[in-house]
Structure 1
Amino acid sequence: MACAPISEVCALQMFNNDTNAQRSCMTAYALQYNWYPSPIAGLFSYQTWNGFDGFWQDGTVLETLVNFMQYANNTMYKSVVSGSLRDVYTLLEAYYPQPSYDDMAWYGLSYLRIHEVFGSGNDDPSTGFLYEARQIYDWIWTNGWDATNACGGGIWFDQTLQGKETVENAQVLLLGAKLLRLSGDQSLIPKINQSLQFILSNQIVNTTNYWVADGIKTNCSSNDFYGPTYNMGLMMSAFVEAGMALDKSTELVPLAHKIALTAIHNSTKNGVLIEYCAPNCDDDAKMFKGIFMRHLRYLLDYAESSKDSNQWQENIEIYRKFLQHNSDTAWQMNRCEPSENKCMVLYKDGKSLHNTTVGPLFGVHYTGPYNCSAPMQQASVLDLFVSSISSGVKCDGPQCSYDPPIPQPSPLTCQDNPCPPDQPCCTYEEGYYTCCESTQTCKNGECI
């Protein structure tokens, strides 16, 4: 199937006139058309988009795409999602000497969600997404859990064993609890308990104002650095899943809702989510808001489907209105259409394989104004739109299975100017190059 025009692929009537489903479709179309795959994809052991800042972003966007399939009831880009499966060894090849534990966990979480959406009948139990998610979890636990039990254990940030941050510990609690739900493996319960107790005993969640800290100090207390929204989103889901796994929902689910309301009331401006580092966020942080919105939708789904949904009716309404307000604001204030305006677009690994750019394109801040587009901010807004899709949307029509052929990456050289303007291109072997850091120069095939 060739690349059909966006007006045909993402017609509003396909989605029962659900505006957020159409916005999601158009934003996913632009993400895939403009940035997937990277022109140098063949150099990596995993799927790569043209311009993501790191390995972890190529992993977490898979959950965004499969959520679009789930919430808008379609199979668009299924080959990209199903083709993302890698074993642990292949993922470890992404970094030397190894990726950080949170980087690997993003793949584990995406693989679990893919298994959940595709269903057990479409996932090989010995080599599939659920299996590899468990392998990732076991690798993180074996290598990352503090065996000295300092501060009650916890997962180190990476193999240097220099710090314990919230992100990897919330991820591992979520991974373990969700693995238990999807696999039924009761042997996971002790580790889930250990993860939960580490988070609670080290006061990562402030039980006065329900902010989530970014990590702990060596004295086994919160580091009192609050702000990254993805920490709050991950912790919400981790508490919900751990509540189900350990029969502690009465204790943990209210905590998840309090964290959500803290973010909605305090990490916002005029009701729109703002990242703590704005306006000077690095490329990692440009995706944080979307991850929060993803987990807010999961909390919303749980609240609506739980037996005590009446208890959370006020929260459900707050979450729905918050998501819609953010969706409308991003669409109206932070969008650029290349057919109508000059839009600044970043292609880190060389120009798009299609040699053209399509919209809608989005900048860093949901509030706007539009500044520039790259896959980080595009994926963040896609997460927002997908999380805002109404329950029960059905996709109807042949384009609901839109899955165009993936263009073949063409080898680039330094003569193609593939690097960002401030990063020197360095040829280290005929046909191979790397982009040096902005503070480096290339000398005899090495960045120094």
Structure 2
Amino acid sequence: MLKLLSFITVFILLLLSSADAKLKTNELSTSEVQDWAEITTARLVACYYDNSTGLFTNELKWQSGSTLETLANFISLADSPQRYIFSETFKKTDPFIGGNCFDDYLWWALAWIQIYKVDPHIEYLQRAALIHDFVSDRAWTTTTCNGGLQVCPTNTYKNAITNELFLLSSMRLHPYTKLLEKPPTYYLEWALKEWKWFEKSGMINSEYLINEGLRSCVNDNRTTWTHNQGVILSGLALLYSATHNSTLIDIAQKIADAAIRHLTYPNGILKEACEPKCDTNHRSFKGIFARHLGYLIPYLTDAAHIQKYTLFLRLNSVSSWTTSRCEMDGLFNIFWDSQLPDACDAPRDTATTSSVLDLFIPTAKTSQTIKKQQNGCEDLCRQTADEDKGAVAYDYQISCTGYGFCRIRTLSSESHTPPGFEYQDDVARRVTTTNKVTIASCYVKII
């Protein structure tokens, strides 16, 4: 055992030195982000997976299910002997290990479906189907709000995440109806029924952000957690794939755009509403958003959105790796843009680290290189101007150093500054005039 631990330690140190060396370049390659994912996976499994229980330590049981899905995604990126934990976990857990509520069970259902894709043992798929049947039989009720899933057996609250998870699990099981001896459209019909109810429920607000749930069958206007903006993305993507209803992709893009616009710091880094004082549940949420944004990208055809989401993932990955990793234990803290002198001073655990791994994996899958793509950057500049209601003109230039310079002349106030841009008042070099109103204020960003 000591020899094994020594080997793992040396392996992690070698990967760390390799990754840190690459950071000195101006490019972010697929292999580089994959190195970060490999380092993080090795640390999680070697140090925080409990072989006796089949769960991860320092996180809640539902989060262990979510972390298993993350590891299945890593295996799909780079095969690893760490896949052994799938069979270990299956043997040492029951279908309802996640907790006491229906959403707790569904995180595990999603994990077993993803695990089946990389380790195709039918018992994994059957367990996911068992959980789905249990939830559909007991959670869907029409006695309140004319449908939808309630959150717990003893709590009739209709919340967003339980219904999003059910939509997604239905669509993930849809291709396996024959294997699971179900009618061909069994799971698809559940997904369509769920989405029809969800879309009309009012949980998607006027900004295309999803609030926490319903009170008296109307939007409760509670926190727009990042994971609620995430799970829905892949559910809609899979439903689009089955129905070819392009409206579903349009809605998914609007939700993703709203999250990136409203749930980020000014520099474009994703934030949770509770930061810096998030409880254990909340510490997984940002990674879940990143994971499902990554699931959405392959279904998109709009180049501007593909690039926008890819750059968002890259930006957050680089920031997390360079500012949030505690050198002492290899864990990532809750901030993806840590401003602390020492990243070890912020709260960190298995959940926050798994969350960052959720970010690295889709970044590695979507990144070929982070070299500046001049036409794409100009598209991003134009798109940002289009989204600003006060914009009257924009210009995009390439500097001598190769960096893009985006300037948007605007009537909007500083409070509407897009993520990653800087507001400059009365300093525009060449004044723009529209309707005889002089515009000398602008948003500026180096791309």
- Superposition TM-score, scaled by structure 1 size: 0.72
* 2:96 partner letter: L
Structure 1 alignment gaps of length 5 or more: 304-308, 339-357, 394-448
Q: How does 1:401-440 map to 2 (within 5 A)?
A: none
Q: Structure 1 residue 145 and structure 2 residue 140: aligned?
A: yes
* 2:84 partner letter: S
1:243 CA drift (Å) = 2.2
C-alpha spacing 1:383/1:189, structure 2 compared with 1 (3 Å): closer
User: Counterpart of 2:171?
Assistant: 177
Out of 322, 325, 341, which is 1:335 matched to?
325
C-alpha spacing 1:94/1:66, structure 2 compared with 1 (3 Å): closer
1:147 CA drift (Å) = 4.6
Distance 2:195 2:73 in 1: 26
Out of 29, 48, 67, which is 2:73 matched to?
67
Q: Structure 1 residue 104 and structure 2 residue 109: aligned?
A: no
Distance 1:373 1:33 in 2: 17
* 2:362 partner letter: S
C-alpha spacing 1:376/1:260, structure 2 compared with 1 (3 Å): same
C-alpha spacing 1:17/1:191, structure 2 compared with 1 (3 Å): closer
Distance 2:97 2:40 in 1: 31
1:233 CA drift (Å) = 0.3
Out of 282, 287, 290, which is 1:290 matched to?
287
* 2:41 partner letter: A
Instruction: Check conservation: 2:229, 2:259, Cα contact below 8 A.
Output: yes
Distance 1:302 1:117 in 2: 20
Cα deviation 1:167-211 (Å, max 9, x = unaligned): 0000001111121134363122332222111101111212x3211
Out of 76, 84, 95, which is 1:79 matched to?
84
Structure 2 alignment gaps of length 5 or more: 22-27, 179-183, 369-447
Q: Structure 1 residue 230 and structure 2 residue 227: aligned?
A: yes
Q: How large is the Cα RMSD of the aligned pairs? A: 2.5
Instruction: Check conservation: 1:151, 1:198, Cα contact below 8 A.
Output: no
User: Counterpart of 1:440?
Assistant: none
C-alpha spacing 1:392/1:367, structure 2 compared with 1 (3 Å): closer
Distance 1:109 1:189 in 2: 16
User: Counterpart of 1:197?
Assistant: 196
Distance 2:176 2:310 in 1: 27
1:244 CA drift (Å) = 2.7
Distance 1:201 1:86 in 2: 41
Q: Structure 1 residue 164 and structure 2 residue 158: aligned?
A: yes
Out of 236, 255, 261, which is 2:257 matched to?
261
Out of 267, 272, 288, which is 1:275 matched to?
272
1:20 CA drift (Å) = 0.7
Q: Structure 1 residue 2 and structure 2 residue 4: aligned?
A: yes
Distance 2:284 2:155 in 1: 26
Instruction: Check conservation: 1:239, 1:256, Cα contact below 8 A.
Output: yes
User: Counterpart of 1:188?
Assistant: 187
Distance 1:86 1:241 in 2: 30
1:336 CA drift (Å) = 1.7
Query: Which secondary structure state, in structure 1, belongs to the residue aligned with residue 111 of structure 2?
Result: helix
Out of 302, 319, 327, which is 2:309 matched to?
319
Cα deviation 1:392-439 (Å, max 9, x = unaligned): 98xxxxxxxxxxxxxxxxxxxxxxxxxxxxxxxxxxxxxxxxxxxxxx
Instruction: Check conservation: 1:157, 1:163, Cα contact below 8 A.
Output: yes
Query: Which secondary structure state, in structure 2, belongs to the residue aligned with residue 23 of structure 1?
Result: helix
Query: Which secondary structure state, in structure 2, belongs to the residue aligned with residue 158 of structure 1?
Result: coil
Instruction: Check conservation: 1:116, 1:182, Cα contact below 8 A.
Output: no
Query: Which secondary structure state, in structure 1, belongs to the residue aligned with residue 293 of structure 2?
Result: helix
Cα deviation 1:228-280 (Å, max 9, x = unaligned): 000010111111122233x1531211111111111111100110000011111
Distance 2:296 2:188 in 1: 22
Higher alpha-carbon Rg: 2
Distance 1:222 1:142 in 2: 25
C-alpha spacing 1:391/1:279, structure 2 compared with 1 (3 Å): closer
Instruction: Check conservation: 2:211, 2:220, Cα contact below 8 A.
Output: yes
Cα deviation 1:283-321 (Å, max 9, x = unaligned): 100110000000010011222xxxxx2xx1001111111
Distance 2:30 2:38 in 1: 12
- Superposition TM-score, scaled by structure 2 size: 0.72
Query: Which secondary structure state, in structure 2, belongs to the residue aligned with residue 272 of structure 1?
Result: coil
Distance 1:179 1:248 in 2: 18
1:29 CA drift (Å) = 1.6
Query: Which secondary structure state, in structure 1, belongs to the residue aligned with residue 89 of structure 2?
Result: coil
1:86 CA drift (Å) = 5.8
Distance 2:312 2:113 in 1: 27
Out of 42, 47, 53, which is 1:29 matched to?
42
Out of 241, 245, 256, which is 1:244 matched to?
241
1:373 CA drift (Å) = 2.6
Out of 318-327 and 222-231, give the one that drifted further: 222-231
Instruction: Check conservation: 1:286, 1:377, Cα contact below 8 A.
Output: yes
Structure number with higher helix proportion: 2
Out of 346, 351, 355, which is 1:376 matched to?
351
User: Counterpart of 2:404?
Assistant: none
1:16 CA drift (Å) = 8.0
